[in-house]
Amino acid sequence: MPRRKRGIGADIEIFWSFVDKSMGETACWLWVGKTTPDGYGYTSFDGKTWMTHRLSYHLCTHKIARGKKILHTCDTPPCVQPLHLWPGTQVENVADMDAKERRGTIKGQRVGERHPLAKLTDAQVQEIRERYLAGGIMQKDLAREYGVVDSAISHIIRGKRFGGPNISRTPAENASHGERHYEGKLTEAAVRSFRARSAAGERLTDITNSYNATATAPVTKQMIWRILHGKAWTHVQ
């Protein structure tokens, strides 16, 4: 049997139940339900999938004209505050990005400390990377100290977040690899040692534990496996 619609009234009630208005009547109202990788919310309404900022504009203002995008004055993707939304074309969207100096960033969104939901400054991000690479501290300890979740520290260290233009790296850092890379933990000598020990029959777990017992910057078993199987440090013979 085809799936029955809940009814528009129920859809509206469910939609607003996922909106956090705690910051105030004129501040951002944040969608706390499902989001895209870019941070925009989405939900089901009247049997169709809607982006939540578009749905909020549709419910609170009027129907959206064909070809119009719904843009944010606050530049906060999960915001569904109707006062922060306005209709515009793609050309107007690009012009707005240029005016706010948001082009050239990650997927059109501000990154680093300029992001409206950022918890860390660029200086703190750089400090986290430097402290971890110096050794002697675990990711969970950094997360507790800086008031963020463990995964945020992991992403920062691996360069998967805050990797935009707000974190400066020299051309040499961007071009280098191996032990010269700005996030490198190993030396070429260590890599050659891993391969020699594996060739002699030593187990991956033993190689990892032995290295990490004296290393200032421990590495994962997965990293050593990648080295042994030609997935990483391939430039070292």
Whether the model pTM is above 0.85: no
Euclidean distance between CA atoms 78 and 68, whole angstroms: 19
Instruction: Using pLDDT thresholds of 50, 70 and 90, give the confidence band for residue 230.
Output: confident
- One-character DSSP codes across 171-225: HHHHH--GGGSTT----HHHHHHHHHHHHTT--HHHHHHHHHTT-SS---HHHHH
**Residues 119-163: pLDDT tens digits?**
677 777 778 887 887 778 888 888 888 887 777 787 777 665 444
Kindly report the number of other CB atoms within 10 A of residue 157's CB atom: 19
Cβ neighbours of residue 176 closer than 8 Å, sequence gap 6 or more? 182
The DSSP symbol for 63 reads: P
Residue whose tokens read 């969608």 = 31
Of the chain, the percentage scoring pLDDT greater than 90 comes to 17
